[in-house]
Amino acid sequence: MTTETQIIARLRRIATDPAARGLADDAALLDGLVITHDTIAEGVHFLPFDPPASVGWKLVAVNLSDVAAKGARPRAALLSMCIGDPDWDELFLDGVEAACESYGLSLIGGDTIALPAGAPRVLGMTAIGAAGERVPSRSGARPGDIVWVIGTLGDSACGLQQLQADAKSTGFLVEKYRRPVPLLADGQALAREASAMMDVSDGLLIDLERLCDASGCRAEIDLDALPLSRAFIAERGQDRRARLFAATGGDDYALLAALPEGIDPLALPLPSDSTIAAVGRLAKGRAIALHDADGPIELPERMGYEHRRD
């Protein structure tokens, strides 16, 4: 079995330029530019029957989520696209265009290829952001920092399950899965004070584990404090099982930030509709400890989503 973690470890032998930040971060930092690349694949990141425009939107949004996690401002993008069905391709590009216009992202180039008939679509984008005064990494967190989540957890994973059960499902949770919203303004505000920051793409627990590994810290997390939307609670409830689902589901595109204890993020210029919750704190040591009002919780076997090939 080959895992994403193993491949990244091997790539570190090649990515020796300081701009790569040791491949321990969401993005590279080169000459004042934040640079990131994300790929989405049919059957992995989107369903074959998802509307093409939503796929185009999602490709832009997931890249800009990494830009948001570095507190950067969208600047430009390169698009890698598989061409095939002309109608699908046109609608997909409508979604790309809508997202680029919404977030002030200029498309400046890329590549197009054609795959054999019947092959799953694979689409990629490189997003470039203009860095602010501070560009928080995953590795800057320190014991005593408070762990904050900006956004809600579990909505997208819940929407995916609805679509897997019924391809005609609609509603808030499905929309969260298909059209994530990068928290750019939140990221720019938090970058001024955050010791470390990243987006939550593969699941809170696995992404928090990566932050802890990079920073050499232990995280103590209160499962009861996780921010859940009303739609999620209506669908799944808010007991321990539901909260573990939310903590491991992935595709949230929330932000995960470590802030020094004396910093109140509510005093920062966050958007008025931001959802933000303190979910725990960092301490000396390693790994993650979970608890709720009923006591300690054993870590789940599946902490989140990790690409692997058997």
Backbone angles phi, psi at 132, to 5 degrees: -85, -165
Spatial distance between the Cα atoms of 140 and 137, rounded to a whole number of angstroms: 6
Say yes or no: 124 and 184 in one domain.
Answer: no
Say yes or no: 91 and 199 in one domain.
Answer: no
Q: What average pLDDT does range 230-239 have in this prediction?
A: 97
Strands (E), the chain: 2-3, 28-30, 33-41, 73-83, 106-114, 122-130, 146-150, 196-200, 218-222, 254-259, 276-283, 288-292, 295-297, 308-309
**37-72 pLDDT, tens digit each:** 999 999 888 999 999 999 999 999 999 999 999 999
Say yes or no: 101 and 51 in one domain.
Answer: yes
Say yes or no: 225 and 266 in one domain.
Answer: yes
* Spatial contact of 227 and 257, defined as CB atoms under 8 Å apart: no
**282-294 pLDDT, tens digit each:** 999 988 999 999 9
Does residue 275 form part of some domain? yes
Dig out the tokens for 50 from the structure. Answer: 């998802």
Dig out the tokens for 235 from the structure. Answer: 């669908």
Say yes or no: 198 and 301 in one domain.
Answer: yes
Say yes or no: 104 and 201 in one domain.
Answer: no
Say yes or no: 108 and 230 in one domain.
Answer: no
Does residue 76 form part of some domain? yes
pLDDT at 307: 57
Say yes or no: 158 and 296 in one domain.
Answer: yes
Percent of the chain with pLDDT over 70: 98
Spatial distance between the Cα atoms of 160 and 64, rounded to a whole number of angstroms: 21
| Burial of residue 60, with CB atoms counted within 10 A of its CB: 0-12 exposed, 13-18 middle, 19 or more buried | buried
The better pLDDT of the pair 111, 115 is held by 111
Say yes or no: 254 and 151 in one domain.
Answer: yes
Residues in Cβ contact with 123 at an 8 Å cutoff, skipping those fewer than 6 apart: 39, 40, 41, 55, 59, 79, 80, 81, 82, 92
Say yes or no: 72 and 210 in one domain.
Answer: no
Residue 2 has pLDDT above 90, yes or no: no
Say yes or no: 151 and 272 in one domain.
Answer: yes
**252-279 pLDDT, tens digit each:** 999 999 999 999 999 999 999 999 999 9
Does residue 135 form part of some domain? no
Say yes or no: 123 and 6 in one domain.
Answer: yes
Does residue 175 form part of some domain? yes
Spatial distance between the Cα atoms of 39 and 37, rounded to a whole number of angstroms: 7
* Spatial contact of 43 and 119, defined as CB atoms under 8 Å apart: no
User: Which residue, 97, 130, 163, sits at the end of a domain?
Assistant: 130
Dig out the tokens for 148 from the structure. Answer: 């904050």
Question: Is the whole-model pTM more than 0.85?
Answer: yes
Residue entry with tokens 């301490």: 283
**149-177 pLDDT, tens digit each:** 999 999 999 999 999 999 999 999 999 99
Spatial distance between the Cα atoms of 98 and 78, rounded to a whole number of angstroms: 16
CATH number of the domain that residue 79 is part of: 3.30.1330.10
Does residue 205 form part of some domain? yes
CA 171, distance to chain mean position in Å, is: 21
Backbone angles phi, psi at 218, to 5 degrees: -110, 140
CA 143, distance to chain mean position in Å, is: 24
Does residue 243 form part of some domain? yes
Residue-range definition of the domain harbouring residue 109: 2-130
pLDDT at 308: 56
CATH number of the domain that residue 156 is part of: 3.90.650.10
User: Which residue, 74, 101, 130, sits at the end of a domain?
Assistant: 130
Number of domains present in the structure of the chain = 2
Does residue 139 form part of some domain? no
User: Which residue, 130, 157, 177, sits at the end of a domain?
Assistant: 130
